[in-house]
Amino acid sequence: MNPLRQLQAQGQAVWLDYIRRDILLDGSLRRMVEEDGVSGVTSNPAIFQKAIGESDLYDRAIQDYLKSDPPGQVERLYEALVVEDIRLAADILMPVFEATGGRDGFVSLEVSPHLARDADGSVAEARHLWELVDRPNLMIKVPATTECIPAIEQLLGEGINVNVTLMFSMAHYEAVAHAYLRGLERCQSPERLASVASFFVSRVDTKVDGWLEELGGEVAAGLLGTIAIANSKLTYARYQELFEGAAFQAMRDRGAAVQRVLWASTSTKNPAYRDVIYVEELTGPDTVNTIPPQTLEAFRDHGKVGPTLLDDWSGARAQIAELASLGIDLDAATEELQQEGLEKFAAPFDSLLETLRSKCDSLRSGVPVDLPVQ
């Protein structure tokens, strides 16, 4: 059996961490849904920068837009292009949404990365995008910054599905999970509400491994490539405490769903590690793994499936304790990672707007614009 399909048997949903106009129109995404069991799509500014800014796939749509809006403000153009892609993906995934009773089949769209420290601005833009896309299987992505935790609660309370992103630590997860619980309490129709808590994985190893290599020694060497998985497993253990016991039963009785943990950043950054390690080692029930295309293909080819997420939590605790004994502050590392994540989304967002500005000028003048090398 297709290993991607086997993940479903373990209770894990597979989402595609990628979107581009061609896979929406040529049947590629539909085939992944039908053959691989892909049941969701995530996007972010970096993905859209590569899709729109580094190809000519959208030039016809840009031309059509400029005919209807000659001044062509790039912010409105960006929104028009992105919303069209999100709607197309949502429509392809609608059968999944309907078959699962609204528990899966979602497409995620992010608010501007420049609103990451602005709760009111995030709420306003999330409402705008929710109405504009007008699909029940949309999730609005909002980062798990301290400033945006109230925005997440507010949006959930209004019945807007939220994918909370850029979580790296237990502290981030705790804040987000409790915001979800408070939002559910405020929501008039909690049975219709969906949310995922996107916990970033491989970037933790990239950050911590660098410090371990600087330290050197046997203990440090033994921890290389282990902390991201250990950090994730302990977060999942906390998820179980919050959502699988008696404390959540009252909300279950109202029809509410759990806020699934979504593993993000699951491509392998270090070539010394197995190319599907962050999928193989984090398989468990009521979770999502959003996987970029290259990793998806690799897992389809040679992925191994088992209930790994439930294994050896004591070992994970020991690894985190050993890290602390070496003087490495995981909390400090994860705060740095969240800030770096915000910057990594803001930069491509700004680059895309600049590329769109150049494309608009080129299309108006008839002079071809040089695209970045793909």
The phi and psi torsions of 273 (rounded to 5 degrees) equal -100, 155
CB atoms under 10 Å from CB of 238, counted, come to 14
- For residue 213, the tally of other CB atoms under 10 A from its CB is 11
Handedness of CA 54, 20, 292, 334 (dihedral sign): positive
The answer to whether residues 194 and 180 touch, using CB atoms and an 8 Å cutoff, is no
The type of residue at 136 is P
Which two three-digit tokens encode residue 137?
Answer: 């299987």
Is 250 in a helix, a strand, or coil?
Answer: helix
Distance CA 79, CA 73 (A): 10
Residue 146 amino acid letter:
T
Helix intervals (H) in the chain: 3-9, 21-25, 28-31, 45-48, 59-68, 74-99, 119-133, 149-157, 170-186, 202-215, 218-223, 227-243, 249-253, 277-280, 293-302, 313-325, 330-365
Does the annotation mark 141 as catalytic?
Answer: yes
Cα separations in angstroms, 27 against 21, 31, 61, 175: 11, 6, 19, 39
- Per the document, the length of the chain is 374
Q: Give the gyration radius of the chain's Cα atoms.
A: 21
Q: What whole-number distance in Å separates Cα of residue 305 and Cα of residue 299? A: 10
- To which residue do tokens 């949502």 refer? 90
> Which one of 141, 207, 233, 359 is the catalytic residue?
141
Contact 135, 91 (CB under 8 A): yes
Residues paired with 164 in a beta bridge: 142, 197
| List of residues 6+ apart from 356 with CB closer than 8 A | 52, 53, 62, 74, 77, 78
Active-site positions?
A: 141
